[in-house]
């Protein structure tokens, strides 16, 4: 008998399922809420949505919301002279507590543009909660092709981005794709990472 999946909350255990979850992503044009994308389940219920930076009018800033429109994550690209000289560009993801204050939950290191062409890995680290330790992840594959995975430090796939074959045959664009999230993995965290990937590669969330 298979054991119960370990729950690994980053934003909240509410977004960790005991079974594998397949969610659909549909990108929005920039004329709709400044771009971004909507995430739905098999029943077409909206689970998450990501506002493009056109909503905030702030470059390098993204918001992940739940199905009711409440903000779960504020994601900012770190700036400044020191950052400009750094090999890695950093993104910081902040969750909101019940009082509305922000707490750092993950950091994503984006290789410099010259490094992206050399297929250098994009790495993510999560901030430890009281009952867990810091975890390291990286992106394997190429997001614009909708063929990539988030893998943990032991090489296990925790989430996978792909396109159904029948959809790929009907649509030349990559506006609709699916994300498979493994049991116990925080889905809000996964889509926070995907929001940053979308921005890095100049897609729906980019100004």
| pLDDT tens-place string over residues 97-151 | 766 678 899 999 987 655 444 557 899 999 766 555 668 999 999 999 999 999 9
List CB contacts of 65: < 8 A, sequence separation 6 or more. 48, 49, 50, 51, 71, 72
The values of phi and psi at residue 107, to 5°, are -130, 130
- Alpha-carbon distances, residue 162 vs 63, 107, 144, 148 (angstroms): 23, 24, 10, 7
Q: Say which residue, 107 or 173, is predicted with more confidence.
A: 107
- Tokens (6 digits) for 127: 């901030």
Instruction: Please determine, for residue 204, whether its predicted confidence score (pLDDT) is greater than 80.
Output: no
Residue 168, CB-side half-sphere exposure with 13 Å CA sphere: 8
How much is the pLDDT for 111? 74
- Tokens (6 digits) for 39: 């995430």
Residue % of the chain over a pLDDT of 90: 50
103 forms bridges with which residues in the sheet?
95
How much is the pLDDT for 81? 43
Distance CA 43, CA 117 (A): 38
How much is the pLDDT for 131? 53
- Alpha-carbon distances, residue 205 vs 32, 42, 130, 136, 184 (angstroms): 11, 24, 32, 25, 27
Confidence of residue 161 (pLDDT cuts 50, 70, 90): very high
Distance CA 48, CA 41 (A): 10
């Amino acid at each position: 008998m298979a054991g119960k999946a370990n729950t690994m909350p980053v934003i909240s255990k509410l977004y960790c399922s005991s079974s594998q979850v397949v969610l659909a992503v549909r990108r929005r044009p920039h004329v709709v809420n400044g771009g971004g994308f909507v995430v739905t389940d098999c029943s077409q219920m909206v689970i998450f949505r990501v506002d493009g930076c056109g909503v905030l009018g702030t470059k390098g800033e993204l918001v992940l919301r739940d199905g009711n429109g409440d903000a779960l994550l504020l994601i900012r690209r770190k700036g400044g002279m020191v950052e400009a000289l750094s090999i890695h560009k950093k993104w910081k993801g902040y969750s909101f507590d019940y009082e509305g204050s922000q707490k750092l939950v993950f950091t994503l290191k984006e290789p410099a543009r010259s490094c992206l062409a050399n297929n250098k890995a994009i790495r993510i680290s999560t901030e430890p909660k009281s009952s867990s330790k810091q975890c390291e992840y990286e992106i394997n594959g190429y997001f614009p092709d909708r063929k990539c995975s988030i893998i943990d430090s032991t090489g296990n796939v925790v989430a996978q981005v792909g396109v159904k074959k029948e959809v790929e045959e009907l649509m030349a664009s990559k506006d609709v794709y699916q994300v498979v999230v493994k049991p116990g993995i925080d889905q809000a965290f996964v889509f926070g990472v995907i929001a940053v990937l979308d921005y890095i590669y100049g897609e729906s969330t980019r100004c």
